[in-house]
Amino acid sequence: MKFEDYRIAESIKKALSELKFKKPTDIQFKAITPILNGEDVLAIAQTGTGKTAAFVIPAIEMVLQEKKRHADAHIRCLTLVPTRELAVQISKVFEEIGKYSKLKVACLHGGVEQEKQIQSLTAGADVLVTTPGRMFDLIHQGFADISKLKMLILDEADLMLDLGFYKDVTDTLKHIPKKRQTLFFSATIDKKIKKLAYSVVKNAIRIQISPKNPVAKNIDHAVVFVEMDDKRFFLENILKEYENKKFVVFVRTKVRAERVVKAMERVELKSVFLHGGIEQKERFKILEAFRNGEERVLVTTDVAARGIDIPDVEYVINYDLPDNPENYVHRVGRTGRGRNRGQALSFCSDTEVLLLEAIEEYTGEEILQYEVKPEDYDQIIFGSEDSSNDWKRLMKQFETDEWLDK
């Protein structure tokens, strides 16, 4: 089946054609038709499967049909998401797919001035994509009216629970009609997720796209054992080896992110860091610069591990292994998006072996190990242009001289 075969508006099909959307992914194929039929949907799908378009396409069709029946302007579709970055990203997907449909999209999130967001609401939004906090602020101020809603979408529901948004979701239900269509999307399913899901959906069609190994099949991922202090040399080596590729480099802490960027600066490799301590406007600028190719190396904490869709990321580097094995899947899922192939490489030190074992237990498979010969390992370190590495050269020379003296 192709997108042109769906019973959706020609304006949507035109936009999809320009975006090179030809055939639906598995989650899109299984979700779009039930949603078009007005069913509630509970979908469990891993990152990178195309689930955003799975709800955006039928949501836009629903809005267009509602606008034919009712001329008055109301928010007809509410998409609730856990993070600011995800709100911006999903609103852009609505705008791209709905650009020939005269769709009005409002995006609300904290961390920025609310004046422009209020203007987008007062202009008459059809679709509202929002984080819970800012939405409630504007509801209480009288700017956001979701009382005539036809469709509620919860995306990345598992992360919403992790971030403590359960009450916000249940409070949202008090402001919207009981008679509505609800779409519930999550990467994982457990008791907490089921409790939330069944409190919002009714007789839902359940869709689960979850292979035994949750890492997408079009991602080649491997691990290499590297001493903690040597990781910067291995990163330098791979960034110079693939100097035209786009990289996302994951680290454990804000401090680590900034230190890695400085280490790359010492060897004349440009990169930018992203973490939760950066002001929201600046975070958006950094992501946009990386998205449009102005920057090719993004060093980040797990703030960019979930939901952020950046095209053409060829490589993910786990500079530090994540403490939570589930985050490994989300991290490597930043590459290999849709039908593209991706590469992911993890640096594992002696102190991270238990984390690696936890990841392998979670994915159900051993991760391919790259064996680095001692002479190749030394060449990577001593081939570095980092002058702070001189002490290692001296130690190696001392060991060599000592051996020759014997």
pTM (global) more than 0.75: no
Tokens in use for 290? 């990386």
Last residue of a domain, one of 145, 174, 209: 209
Q: Are residues 157 and 13 in the same domain?
A: yes
Asked, for residue 89, whether it belongs to a domain, the answer is: yes
> Is the domain of 229 the same as that of 180?
no
- The 10s digit of each residue's pLDDT in 237-250 is 999 999 889 999 99
Q: What is the CATH number of the domain that holds 290?
A: 3.40.50.300
Residue 197 contacts residue 170 (beta carbons within 8 Å):
no
* pLDDT of amino acid 386: 75
Residue 118, in any domain of the structure: yes
In this prediction, residue 151 carries a pLDDT of 97
* Together in a domain, 262 and 366: yes
- The domain total for the chain is 2
Residue 184 pLDDT? 94
pLDDT < 70 stretches in the chain: 47-48, 210-213, 305-308, 338, 387-406
- At CB < 8 A and 24+ separation, what contacts does 283-290 make? 283/84, 283/85, 283/111, 284/85, 284/88, 287/85, 290/246
Q: Is 392 exposed, middle or buried (0-12, 13-18, 19+ CB in 10 A)?
A: middle
CA distances from 9 to 60, 61, 79, 299 (A): 9, 7, 21, 41
Pair 224, 167 in one domain: no
Q: Are residues 118 and 147 in the same domain?
A: yes
In angstroms, what CA-CA distances link 264 with 158, 235, 239, 299, 376?
A: 35, 8, 9, 10, 21
The pLDDT tens digits for 179-199 are 999 999 987 777 888 888 888
Place of tokens 């906090």: 133
Asked if 39 and 182 count as a contact pair (C-beta separation under 8 A), the reply is no
Do 229 and 372 fall within a single domain?
yes
Nearest to 252 by CA among 297, 319, 335, 306: 319
Same domain, 160 and 247: no
**404 found inside a domain:** no
Domain of 37, in residue numbers: 3-209
Q: Are residues 134 and 191 in the same domain?
A: yes
| One domain for residues 52 and 188 | yes
- For residue 341, the model assigns a pLDDT of 86
Give the separation between CA 185 and CA 55, rounded to whole angstroms. 9
* Residues 320, 321, 324, 330, Cα dihedral to 10°: 90
